[in-house]
């Protein structure tokens, strides 16, 4: 199977990060959360656009709920 250098690099970085935390999923998640809050914790919100007019009301309500959370 042919490998791609970028994929190999990403896998190596992922393995090095996991190795640093002894492959402990809880420790890895805690470290990732700490990194996310250290940089300001930018939040990304997915907004689904309606594909049918009947769903537009539900989407608008969801967008308003997200806007009030910010």
- Would you say the pTM of this structure is higher than 0.85? no
Q: How many helices (H) and strands (E) does the chain have?
A: 3, 0
Residue 35 has a pLDDT of 86
Residue 22 has a pLDDT of 98
Q: Exposed/middle/buried for 5, CB within 10 Å: 0-12, 13-18, 19+?
A: exposed
Could you give the CA distance from residue 8 to residue 15 in angstroms, rounded to a whole number?
A: 10
Q: What is the pLDDT of residues 16-70, one digit of tens each?
A: 999 999 999 999 999 988 888 887 766 777 888 777 665 556 656 666 666 665 5
């Amino acid at each position: 199977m042919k490998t791609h250098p970028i994929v190999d690099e990403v896998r190596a970085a992922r393995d090095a990060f996991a190795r640093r935390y002894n492959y402990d999923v809880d420790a890895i998640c805690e470290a990732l959360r700490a990194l996310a809050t250290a940089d300001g914790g930018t939040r990304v919100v997915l907004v689904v656009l309606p594909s049918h007019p009947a769903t537009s009301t539900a989407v608008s309500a969801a967008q308003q709920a997200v806007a009030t959370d910010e």
